[in-house]
Amino acid sequence: MLEDSVERQLKGLFEAEHQARVRNLLVDHCGQNLPFAESLGKEGIARVQSAVIKLSDGDIKRLEHEIELAGKDWRDTLMKSGAIKPAP
């Protein structure tokens, strides 16, 4: 199950016929299975999911790529999306 904010973002970027697939990708590959997901909590996981959606720009192949990268180090995904800023 996705957070409401992630669901709205998904619906805003992906066409209706792709939304179920996007949902499944996020839940199955960019959720509780993220490295250190237990330290992220629900809000943190939603931030990572939101970041991969943003970076995908509505393209499923890009989404899959960004999910793969987030699975390696989601901190890079958050920085790349602008969700967090690097330390000065």
For the chain, give every domain's residue range: 4-81
In 3D space, the residue among 20, 29, 86 whose CA is nearest the CA of residue 52 turns out to be: 29
pLDDT band at 88 (very low <50, low <70, confident <90, very high): confident
pLDDT band at 76 (very low <50, low <70, confident <90, very high): very high
Mean pLDDT of 17-33: 97
What one-character DSSP code corresponds to residue 31? S
Whether the pLDDT of residue 87 is over 80: the answer is no
pLDDT band at 20 (very low <50, low <70, confident <90, very high): very high
- Cα(47)–Cα(49) distance, rounded to whole angstroms? 5
pLDDT in tens, 27-56: 999 999 999 988 889 999 999 999 999 999
- Count the neighbouring beta carbons within 10 Å of the beta carbon of residue 33: 11
Report yes or no on whether pTM surpasses 0.75.
Answer: yes
Give exposure, 2-32, as e/b (b: 16+ Cβ within 10 Å): beeebbebbeebbeeebeeebbebbeebbbe
